[in-house]
Structure 1
Amino acid sequence: MKLRSRRIGDYDVAFLFDGMFSTGIDSLVHARGPAAQAEMLASRSGTTIEFEVNHFALRGPGGLTLIDAGTGPGWNPSLGQSWDSMRQNGIAPADVDRVLLTHLHFDHARGLLDGDKPYFPRAEVLIPSTELACYTSEAARLALPEARRSAFPITAAIVKAYGSRIRAFVPGEIMPGIETVALPGHTMGQTGFLLKGNGETALFWADAAHMGDVQTADPDVSTVFDYDPKLAARTRWWLFDRAVAENWLIAGSHLSDFSRVRRVGQTYGIAAG
């Protein structure tokens, strides 16, 4: 397992590899409608897409912070490797002071749980307030089709396991040198984290883009995993433009390494950071 780490500001940042996720190309959707979707699918070779699942460890002010928690073992044989990745990076569960969740999908939050117990025995869990409100709402659950409800039981289990160590957060500075960035569309409360220091700014953009090369070339490409594909596309257009203008270093949950977004004609591209 490759170890990928970098010093950014006052933090040592490490990728924590959880595994590979595969899905059919019919999981891609296009925000401009059926004709654009058909053209997109016709241009692709193969029947599947595959991308990494990662989360992140930050060592710095306030101790050890995780951004997301991976899937945990037992959900999918190709995933659930992040606990091993943490061990390889010298991280024991009791070392973790806090977990900042970008959103509550299984591949970001299920690793908080060891069965029905907390995997991190003393960590606080910080969740975007909009995200927590959505996935603890029975009305919101009933408004979605059954296939889109998986985050609700995960959220309930996390709230039960961590109890008073759950903290909802609102936009702003969440830790020294770390600000929140709203990235709605994939979920309504998805939040990125902007880490600044020593002349470098890094954005942890979660699932704002699952496939860096495909979605920077055409930000209107979404996936069936997006709560609101059209809003997710609008967020990407804004995000990529800002990332180019600010020369942000990008750490994406489904990117294989630190990256940067570049302008390519009327759209964008992505390159090693």
Structure 2
Amino acid sequence: MKTIQQRSLAAALAATCFAGAAMAAAPMVKTPAPGYSRIMLGQFEVTPLSDGTVDLPVHELLAQDAKKTNAALAASHLKSPLETSDNAYLVNTGTKLVLIDSGAGSFFGPTLGKLVANMKSAGYKPEQVDEIYITHFHGDHVGGLVNNSAAVFPNAVVRASKAESDFWLSQANMDKAKDKDSFKGAQAALGPYVKAGRYKPFEGSVELVPGIRANPTGAHTPGHTTYLVESGGQKLLLIGDLIHVASVQMENPGVTIQFDSDQKAAAAARKKEFDAAAKGGYMIGGAHLQFPGMGYLRSEGKGYRYIPVNYTQMR
């Protein structure tokens, strides 16, 4: 039989072991992973930046029967409301630091507006950005330009299609629009840069800096523009809002979304740009493809297969 001392020692050891087991599991961190990635494109460094995500009721927004949308989402282990990425891209050409789109800033609530923090985590500061190219003036692409009515990027020149700014910065257009908030947002975002003489629109397809060319597509908005980044024989097409829900629209590219100002033209623009990317074998980068939103396209049936870019440690 165990003595009283032996029983007490055994109980103490058991209690110690039990306490140790209880303390072995670390507390949950409950913070997101860093929202940036990085690849080399020829001699250019490309840093995708996450502005966060937003839940979208895509079964209501896409121009097809909700049952079809829900079935396509389920096949990709997704559901609506769909947690949707909002991405921007920082391109260091070696002589210029160029940001394509700026995220939503404070325009869309607390789940977005993380671009600047992620830019700093990636090793860059807003004051280092030389130029900002905007795909279009919807709030989730221009909201990050300002904070409390002040320019977030104090040294940057902002550029976009003249057709885009002529439409959204027009008081006359806003006066006759049903959705005045979108106009107010665009004007608030661009205002400090326009006032400082640091907004410079362009017309047509033009090379803005060596290796980055603007290609206006229209359709989604009057002056929606994609940007082709090219270095060392490698290409990356930053497509803005040519697509919103990859799990639906890759297989069925004719499906449009309520945000498209010209539904028929939006589908045609997507097909034209995606056919070229698939045939040319170059990457695309999408504002609303799952972060980091970069990959390749392969034609498949009447649609496309999206192949995410391989992870790299930048060796």
TM-score (norm 1): 0.90
- Residue 128 of structure 1 aligns to which amino acid in structure 2? S
Equivalent of 2:288 in 254, 264, 272: 254
- Do structure 1's residue 266 and structure 2's residue 302 form an aligned pair? yes
> Which residue is 2:267 aligned to?
233
* TM-superposed deviation, 1:16: 0.8
Structure 1, unpaired ranges of 5+: 31-35
CA distance in 2, matches of 1:224, 1:121: 34
CA distance in 2, matches of 1:41, 1:89: 36
Q: 1:101 to 1:139 in 2, by over 3 A?
A: same
Q: Which runs of structure 2 are paired with 1:1-273 in the superposition (5 Å)?
A: 1-30=34-63, 36-37=64-65, 40-41=68-69, 43-44=71-72, 45=74, 46-73=79-106, 75-146=108-179, 149-162=180-193, 163=195, 164-170=197-203, 171-255=205-289, 256-257=291-292, 258-273=294-309
Q: Residue 223 of structure 1 aligns to a residue in which SS? A: coil
Give the aligned length: 266
Shift of the 40–182 alpha-carbon distance from structure 1 to 2, 3 Å rule, reads farther
Check 1:74–1:153 CA distance in 2 against 1; reply closer, same or farther (3 A cut).
closer
- Residue identity in the other structure for 1:20: T
Give, in whole Å, the separation in 2 of the partners of 1:74 and 1:43: 31
Structure 2 runs not aligned, ≥5 long: 1-33, 310-315
Q: Given the two structures, how large is their TM-score scaled by the length of structure 2?
A: 0.79
Contact kept, 8 Å, 1:183 with 1:208, in 2: the verdict is no
Cα root mean square deviation, aligned: 1.9
| Contact 1:15-1:56 within 8 A present in 2 as well | yes
> Following the alignment from structure 1 to structure 2, what is the Cα–Cα distance between the partners of residues 39 and 22?
19
| Equivalent residues of 2:161, 2:223 under 8 A apart | yes
- Secondary structure of 1:169's partner? coil
Q: Which amino acid aligns with 2:259?
A: F
Once the 2 structures are TM-superposed, how far is the Cα of residue 272 of structure 1 from its aligned partner? 1.5
**Aligned letter for 1:262?**
R
Q: Percent identity?
A: 29
